[in-house]
A and B are shown apart, each in its own frame.
Chain A
Amino acid sequence: MKIPLSWLKDYIDLNLPLLEIARLLTNAGMEVEEITLIGLPNPYEQDATLRREYKVSGLSWDADKIVVAQIDEVQPHPNADRLVLCRLHDGQQEHLVLTGAPNLFPYKGQGPLPKPLKVAYAKEGARIYDGHQPGQVLTTLKRAKIRGVESYSMVCSEKELGISEEHEGILFLEEDAPTGTPLVDYLGDAVFEINILPNMIRNACVLGVARELAALTGQPLRKPQPRPQYSGESLAGAVSLEISDPTLNPRFLLGLVRGVSIGPSPAWVQRRLRLAGMRPINNVVDATNYVMLALGEPLHAFDYDVLVRRAGGKAPVIRTRAATPGEKLTTLDGQEHTLESYTILVCDEAGPLSLAGVMGGLESEVTPETRTVLLEAASWNYVNVRRTTTALHISSEAGYRFGRGVHPALAHPALEWGLENIVAWSGGEIAQGILDQYPNPPHDPLVRISETDVQRLLGLHLPAAQIAALLERLEFTCQVHGDCVEAQTPPHRLDIGEGLTGIADLIEEIARMIGYDQIPFRRLSDTLPEMRPLPHLALEETVRQVLARQGMQELISYRLTSTEREARLIGEQPEQAYIRLKNPLTPERSVMRRSLLSSVLEALEKNARLRNRIACFEIGPVFWPVEGQQLPDEPQQLALALFGQRLPSTWNHNNNEAFDFYDLKGVLEGVFEALHIAVRFVPAQRTGFHPGQCAELYAEETCLGVMGALHPETQARFDLPNTPPVLAAELSLAALLAHTTTRRETRPVPIYPPVLEDLAIVVEEELPGERVEAVIRQAGGALLSDVRLFDVFRSQALGSGKKSLAYRLTYQSMDSTLTDAEAAKIRQRIIRRLEQELGAKLRS
C-alpha cells in the first residue's frame, strides 16, 4: 500500500523526520518497504552516518534550482512549429524558456496571459529525470542551444520531477502557488510503501495509517467529515433494492447524482491517485477510488441510464444474490467469467451487473457519455469474495480489501464522501435521500481485559488506567473497573475477537503501542517438562557420524520425485503406492518418494560425470500409503551408494581399484559395530540388484534391508557407465533401532600372551564362508578368541569346485598362558569338526 505523506497530513499533524515515521510504522507492524522521495531531501545524503534501515528512492529537488515560476506569455518559436517560448518569471527575474509541451500550445500567441500559468521551473544545474528516456534516468540540466535559441532551464513534467510517469505535457500547479518558492516547499512529498499484514486490512488506506500514527504519537486525528448537498430530485422511485442473503451482503447503500459531466479530475486529485499507485480514469471513477484509498471502503459507480435502459425504461431494481452455477458476466476489463454459486452478484432484473466486491461489469460502467451516476457502497462476505478472486484469478483493489473484510460501518461515510466528490469534480446534483439496507450489522466485541492478563502474557505490569489509555488511542471505548478494562471495539475493525481471543487481540494492540522493545527480556523460569528418551535420534546421529568417519558424504535430496524415475530402481508400482500431488510444479516432482535409494542414485547419476569416486548416503523418510489410513507411513530409512575408485589417486600413487561388494559390506559392518548389532548377510534376489551380488541383512529374524551391486540393467537405466559397478544399500532405521542396545558388557583386556596360528582348509566352492567360521568358533570354544579370514584361494591343484580358505586363529586364556599342547588340542578339535561337518580337508 502506497501512502503519500502529504495525504497523511490531511488527517494528522506530522512534524517527524521521514525515517522516524518509517520506524514508528514498522515497529507497529506496518513494515515500510520503501520510501519514495517526491522532491524531499534524502535523509541518508544529509547524514551519511545513518544506518540504511529503510530503502529510500526517488528524486530530491534542489531548493534553489527548482522553484515555482509563472508563465506570463507563451510565444511562438521563430523557426520551429513544435516548440514555443515561454516568458517566465521565477520570482527574481524574467527568463525566456523553450519547451515543446503540447499543453502550452493552446496559450501560444495570445499575448500576456490574464492569469499566469504556475509551473515547476528547473534552472541550470538542477538534477531531474530525463523525460525522453524510459524509466528514471537522472540528468543534470546544462546550457545548450536548441534551434538557434539559447536554453539553460526548463519547465518540468511530472516524469521529470519523479512524481509519476506522466510526460505528455508540463505540470501545471494550482493558481495560488507562490512564485519564487522552492518547489520542494510547495509540492515536496514522500510516499511510504507499506506491507499490510492480513489482519490489518483496516490500514490499507490513508486514514487507517494516520490513525495508527495518531495513536503512536499522541497527535489528534482529523477524520474527514463529508457534507454532501442532497439538493436534487428525490431518489425515491428512481431505484429499489433487495438483498436476498444478508450473510452474503450485510449492508448495501445507494446514492444518485444527476447531471454529471465526465472529464478529467482536478490535477491535485490525479497527482494523489498516481502517488498512491492508481491510474486516474475520469472524475467519477477517480472520486470512488479516492474514497477507497482514503477510507478503505471500495465504492462502485454505475451508469444509471444503462440500468434504466436494461429495465425497459422503468426504475431499476438492484438485487444482490449468489450466482447460479454457469451464469456468465463480462467484467469491465473485458474478461468474460463463468461463475459458481459462491460468487455474489449485484444484479438488476435483466441479469448480473457486477461481481460484488470484486469488479464491475462492462455494460454498466461509467463512460464519457454517462450523465447520471448510481453510487454503490456495500459490504460483502469476505470468504465469498476471496473464493471468487482466487477462482477467477482477478486481482482488484476492491477484491483485495473486501476479501479480507471491510467493516460495514464504513459504507455510509464512504458513500457520502463519494457523492460529495462526484459533485465537486464532475458537477451535477445529488438526489435527495439515499437507500441504506443494513440487515446484518456485525457485533463489535466488548472485551474485558485485566492487569493480570497483561502480566500473564507480556510479563509486564501495566495499571488498568494505562491499558485503557493505550486502547483509547486506537479508538476503543474503555471503562476501567478496578484492575479490569472493558474495551468496546471501534466500528471500523473486524479483527478483534471475543473472550480469550479478544484478550489476545488487545494484548497485541497494547504491545504494539508501547513497543515490543519496551517489554523486558526474561529467561525461562517455568517448570521444566519431564525429559523423554529419544533413542531414534541418538541412533540416527551415530549412523551419520560413523558413515561420515568412513568417508561417506551425506546428502539431503528432494523428497518429491516421479514414478518414472523411481521405476528405474523399484519397477512399476500400482497407482495407490504413491502420495501424489494435485498441483505439482513440474511432472518430475509429482509424487512423494517411496525409495530413498532411488534419491541417492539420482544424486550419484548427477555427479558421476564430474568425478571418478563417489561415496554417499542419505537418512530420511520415505512415504508409504497405507490402506484405510489418511496419512502415509513415513519410516526413516538409510541409503548408501559407492561408485568408482576405492581411494583417490594422488600425484605419486595411482589407485585404480574400484569399489566392490566387500567395500560396501565393510562400511555396513562398521555401522553395525558402532550400533553393536549382530547382522547376518543372506544371499537374496531383489529387483534392481545383481542376482549374484545381493544380500538381505538380518538381525535375529528381522530383515534390516538389502545391499549389493546394482543389476547392470538398472545401472544402465540410471545413465551410468557399465563399469565400475554401483554398490548400494537401503536399510530401515526402525529395524536397526529395535536391535541395538545401549547396555552391553565390555571384555577385560587379557594380561597373558595369545597363541597365534594359521589354519588353511579346502572346501566345496558352494559352501558359504560364514558356515566355516561358525564351525571353527563353535569347536574352538571360549579359548578361541578371534578368527580372521586372511586368504581365499582357488587353483587347478585344488581341483575345480574347490576353494581354500585360510584363517588366522587366536587362542587366548584370561587365566593363564596357554601352552602349545593346549592350543594343539583345540586345533585338533576344530579340524575334526570341520572334516566331519563340512567335509573340509586340511591343506598341507
Chain B
Amino acid sequence: MSEEAAIRAEMEQTQQQALTALQTVQNEAELLAWRNAHLGRTAPVMLFFSRLPQFPKELRPQIGQAANQVKLTLEAAYEARRQELQASSLQQRLSSERVDVTLPGRRLPLGHLHPSTQILAEICAIFGEMGFQVYRSPEVESDENNFELLNIPAHHPARDMWDTFHTTRPGVVLRTHTSPGQIRAMRQMAPNPLRVILPGMTYRYEQTNASHESQFNQVELLAIGQNITFGDLQGTLTDFARRMFGAEVHVRLRPSYFPFTEPSAEIDIECFLCGGKGCTVCKGGGWLEIGGCGMVHPVVLRNGGYDPARFTGFAAGLGPERIAMLKYRISDIRYFFGGDLRFLEQF
C-alpha cells in the first residue's frame, strides 16, 4: 500500500470513528466533550495537518485537502447533531412542562354586589334613560305621609291592604311602600314637571315565608305634568319591560285598586321564561305579576301641591326582589336579607 493510501485510510477511519462517537452523544456536555476530542487542537484530524511536512511535497496538497474535507464533514455533523439535541431538549422540556388543564384555577377573591342592588341599578338605569331621576325618602315615616296624604284616611277599608309596623312614637310608622316619597318629591318640585324613581326598603307586618318578607325593596315611578295620560303609563311600562325582559315581551294592565291612583292597575308581563305559553313559574297562565300602577289620584296631586285641574300624573310600583326571583329563579325571598354568603356569592 502506498503511503498516500495509508494516510487516506487512516483519515477515513478517523472520520468514521468520530461520526460513530457523535451518534452516542446525548447532551450538551457530551457534545462539548466530543467537540474537544474530535475538533479540538489535539484532535486526530488536527494532527493530520501537523503531520503534513512529513509527506512528500507533491502529495501535501491532496492530503491537506483531504484532511480539511474530514474536518468540514465533522464540523457539519457536529452542527447537525447540535441542532438535533437542541430540538429534542426543547421537546423534552415542553413535554415535561405539560399541565392538567382540567385542574381548578387559582382565583383572586371576587366581590359581588347584592342581587337587590343589581336589579335596582338595572331598573333605575332603564328609567333613567327615560328621564326619571332617583329620589330617596325616609324609611321611618309619618302616618300622614305614608297614608293620610296618599288618600288613605284612618279606618279606610284600603288600610287592610297594608299590614303596618307601628312605632312607639305616635303617628310614626315604618313605611309600607315607597309611595310617601311621592308626597315628598311633589312638595319639593311642584309646580314644575316631575319624573322621579323612588327606590328603597319598605316594611310589612307580615309573618314571613318563602314568598313573604317583612322587609323588601320597592321601586316607584312618578311622572307629573300637563300632558301625561294612562296611555303614557302603558307605553312607559312596556318600554321598560322590553328593556328588562326582552324585546318581544307584552305588558298587560289589569284593573285594580289603590287609594292613591285612579284608574289603578296590576302590571302583568308576559312570562319571559315560556314566552307566554304557560310554565311552572307562571303557573300555566303565561303572565307574571310584577307590580301595580295607575293615574295619580287628584287628592294626592293636590296634597303634593299640584292643581289636579291642570296636572295629571302616573305612578307605578315594582318589586325588585320579585323581579330578581323570577329572573334568577330564586325559590325563597328570605335569602335576600338573611346574609348567607352561599346565596349572595352567586350573583
Answer whether A and B are interacting partners. Answer: yes
Binding site for B on A (CB under 8 A): 26-29, 31, 51-55, 197-201, 382-383, 386-387, 403-405, 455-460, 500-501, 503-505, 507-508, 511-512, 516-517, 519-532, 534, 537, 541, 544, 547-560, 579-585, 589, 592, 602-603, 606-607, 610-611, 613-616, 620-621, 623, 630-632, 634, 647-648, 650-651, 653
Residues of chain B with a CB closer than 8 A to A548's CB: 110-113
- A529 and B263 contact, CB distance less than 8 A: no
- A500 and B298 contact, CB distance less than 8 A: yes
Interface centre among B114, B133, B262, B284, by most chain A C-beta atoms within 10 angstroms, is B262
User: Known: A459-B230, A508-B263, A512-B263. Contact between A551 and B108, CB under 8 A?
Assistant: yes
| Contact string against A for B residues 105-146, beta-carbon threshold 8 Å, 1 for contact and 0 otherwise | 011111111101100010000000011011000111110000
List the 5 closest A-B pairs by CB distance, nearest first. Answer: A459-B229, A29-B255, A52-B284, A459-B231, A548-B111
List 6 A-B pairs, Cβ < 8 Å: A31-B254, A52-B284, A386-B157, A529-B192, A544-B113, A585-B207
- A610 and B139 contact, CB distance less than 8 A: no
Question: Within 8 Å of chain A (Cβ to Cβ): is B342?
Answer: yes
Among B201, B265, B277, B338, point to the contact of A51 (Cβ < 8 A).
Answer: B277
- B340 and A198 contact, CB distance less than 8 A: no
Docked pose: A774 CA to B214 CA in angstroms: 52
Residues of chain B with a CB closer than 8 A to A534's CB: 133-134
- A27 and B111 contact, CB distance less than 8 A: no
- B230 and A511 contact, CB distance less than 8 A: yes
User: Known: A458-B231, A554-B113, A558-B337. Contact between A198 and B256, CB under 8 A?
Assistant: no
Among A31, A544, A551, A630, point to the contact of B109 (Cβ < 8 A).
Answer: A551
Binding site for A on B (CB under 8 A): 103-104, 106-114, 116-117, 121, 130-131, 133-134, 138-142, 155, 157-158, 160-161, 165-169, 171-172, 174, 189, 192-195, 201, 203, 205-208, 214-215, 223, 225-232, 234-236, 238-239, 252-257, 262-265, 276-278, 283-287, 295, 297-299, 308-309, 312, 336-342, 344-345
User: Known: A504-B262, A582-B168, A611-B341. Contact between A526 and B239, CB under 8 A?
Assistant: no
Closest A-chain residue to B201, C-beta based? A559
Docked pose: A532 CA to B232 CA in angstroms: 23
Residues of chain B with a CB closer than 8 A to A580's CB: 167-168
Contacts A51-B285, A55-B283, A508-B255 known; 16 new A-B pairs at CB < 8 A: A31-B256, A201-B157, A386-B157, A456-B229, A512-B255, A524-B235, A525-B227, A528-B131, A544-B113, A552-B111, A556-B116, A559-B215, A560-B215, A606-B340, A607-B341, A613-B109
Closest A-chain residue to B168, C-beta based? A580
Among B106, B208, B227, B284, point to the contact of A526 (Cβ < 8 A).
Answer: B227
User: Known: A521-B231, A585-B214. Contact between A631 and B141, CB under 8 A?
Assistant: yes
Residues of chain A with a CB closer than 8 A to B138's CB: 631-632, 634
- B229 and A522 contact, CB distance less than 8 A: yes
Q: Chain B interface mostly helix, strand, loop or mixed? A: mixed
**Min CB–CB distance A363 → chain B (angstroms):** 29
Residues of chain B with a CB closer than 8 A to A582's CB: 165-168
Closest B-chain residue to A549, C-beta based? B111
Closest B-chain residue to A385, C-beta based? B155
- A630 and B298 contact, CB distance less than 8 A: no
Among B133, B234, B257, point to the contact of A531 (Cβ < 8 A).
Answer: B133
Docked pose: A773 CA to B109 CA in angstroms: 32
A-B contact count (CB 8 A): 271
- B254 and A519 contact, CB distance less than 8 A: no
**Min CB–CB distance B251 → chain A (angstroms):** 9
**Min CB–CB distance B182 → chain A (angstroms):** 14
Residues of chain B with a CB closer than 8 A to A651's CB: 103-104
**Min CB–CB distance A28 → chain B (angstroms):** 6
**Min CB–CB distance B82 → chain A (angstroms):** 37
Residues of chain A with a CB closer than 8 A to B208's CB: 585
User: Known: A556-B337, A557-B339, A579-B167. Contact between A198 and B239, CB under 8 A?
Assistant: no
Docked pose: A558 CA to B333 CA in angstroms: 13
Residues of chain A with a CB closer than 8 A to B295's CB: 457, 504, 507
Residues of chain B with a CB closer than 8 A to A517's CB: 252-253
- B140 and A632 contact, CB distance less than 8 A: yes
Residues of chain A with a CB closer than 8 A to B203's CB: 560
- A526 and B140 contact, CB distance less than 8 A: no
Residues of chain A with a CB closer than 8 A to B230's CB: 457-460, 511, 516, 519
Residues of chain B with a CB closer than 8 A to A53's CB: 284-287
**Min CB–CB distance B236 → chain A (angstroms):** 6
**Min CB–CB distance B86 → chain A (angstroms):** 31
Docked pose: A648 CA to B149 CA in angstroms: 54
Closest B-chain residue to A533, C-beta based? B133
Residues of chain A with a CB closer than 8 A to B167's CB: 579-582
- A527 and B225 contact, CB distance less than 8 A: yes
- B172 and A524 contact, CB distance less than 8 A: no
Residues of chain A with a CB closer than 8 A to B157's CB: 198-199, 201, 382, 386, 403-405
Residues of chain B with a CB closer than 8 A to A500's CB: 298, 308-309
User: Known: A554-B344, A556-B337, A559-B201. Contact between A579 and B229, CB under 8 A?
Assistant: no
Among A26, A557, A613, A614, point to the contact of B254 (Cβ < 8 A).
Answer: A26
Docked pose: A541 CA to B113 CA in angstroms: 10
Residues of chain B with a CB closer than 8 A to A503's CB: 298
Residues of chain B with a CB closer than 8 A to A630's CB: 142, 169, 171-172
Closest A-chain residue to B204, C-beta based? A585
Residues of chain B with a CB closer than 8 A to A610's CB: 341-342
**Min CB–CB distance B106 → chain A (angstroms):** 5
Among A501, A507, A555, point to the contact of B339 (Cβ < 8 A).
Answer: A555
- B231 and A520 contact, CB distance less than 8 A: yes
User: Known: A529-B189, A606-B340. Contact between A197 and B140, CB under 8 A?
Assistant: no
